[in-house]
Chain A
Amino acid sequence: MRGTFKIVIDAKWCKGCGLCLAECPKDVLQWSGARSAKGYNVPVQDETKVCTGCRLCELICPDQAIRVEGERQ
């Protein structure tokens, strides 16, 4: 489970439901506190934590707003 992963959350589609935060086994996501144009609190990747690229956040996101970039090596 090595590799560097970037979690891209599209503020255009995110509704701030928090499912991705709850789903992440490594607590990599946290609330940004910043409001999107639609008024939602959009999560961001905590760069101090290690994302394993499991893509559970991408799979659980109801709004298809999350893209996990990077490949498992």
Chain B
Amino acid sequence: MSEDGRKVRIIQGNEASVEGAIAAGCRFFAGYPITPASEIAELMSRRLPPVGGTFLQMEDEIASINAVIGASWGGAKACTASSGPGISLMQEGVGYAAETETPCVVINVMRGGPATGQPTISSQQDIYQARYGGHGDYEIIALVPSSAQEAYDLTIKAFNLAEEFRVPVYLLSDEIVGHTRERVVMGGPIEVRERVAPPKEGYRPYAAGPDGLLPGMPAFNDGYRLLVEGQHHDERGIRAGDDVNKSAALVQRLNDKVRKNIDRITDVERVDLDDAEVAVVCFGSTARPALEAVQSAREKGVKAGALRLRVIWPFPEKVVAELAGRARTLIVPEMNIGKLVLEVRRSAGGRAEVISLPRLGGALHTPEEVEGAIMDAVKGGNAR
């Protein structure tokens, strides 16, 4: 351990997520075993009790997300983790957390689907589930780590964003990130957003500030006499589902508080983009071969670059639009049928050619495959 409290360990991304969660102040975890996310529950069951936290293995994933919601209102930073089938079961609960503005973190270590699919193999198929998985209109925030280090860093960030925006935040990890053991620097001076109790005088739990955000997070049993209501509600929490104006205002705000604050949330890494003619837009484990391909192409004198997304939702459309105005071609490698490319294409608005590089089956793209797409694009080739 260094003087500033940092320590270096070789651990899996799943373990790094647990360490990040605990560093961020997570003191409640409820979950249910599932491959490839089980290590998160296993390590939480070891790590939480000694730090005064609670681990509960629930009867299913529906119970897990709902226990997390209860714990969050009880005053604890709370988290659950699962993979495809379990995350599907959680969707109603995630929507409830969005409606009631309950801060919580959901870690999805993505595997191949649909159905039981590929329990032990990676995918990036669930990105739209994170955004649109529940019924109704709401926005969430989703972060995508590319490495064990980012599983640590972005889990901390996920908790901070959940508190700041009073919203469920996904960490969209995947089997490759979750199970790859690599060097992780932990501890030291990290930024943690503590929960702030709002003033009780005249408190209205759902009265938002001008930025659409609720100030602080109250806890049960601290004298607020809270009413947390899953039906559309007014600023006091009283049901208003039959009031078209109040219902519209609430749903608009639940979406706007994320959409209109996108500049505070967007987090991208720009690699060699200043003069790039071909840019790879990448995220998660797919970014690993993508960045290698860009470096290799550069070494061959090709003006290639990469835009790596650390926050995938809300989608950084302004950043992509600006990039599309400068680069000739955008290439989108992803381990699914070709999903994020739709958002990239929409944001590019026809200003750049957008090439989809999807991959099914769970094997990561090879650097050569991505580099081949870059070279085809440079030659004006026929890669589509």
| Chains A, B in direct contact (C-beta < 8 Å) | no
A interface residues (Cβ-Cβ under 8 A, vs B): none
State the B residues within 8 Å of A (CB). Answer: none
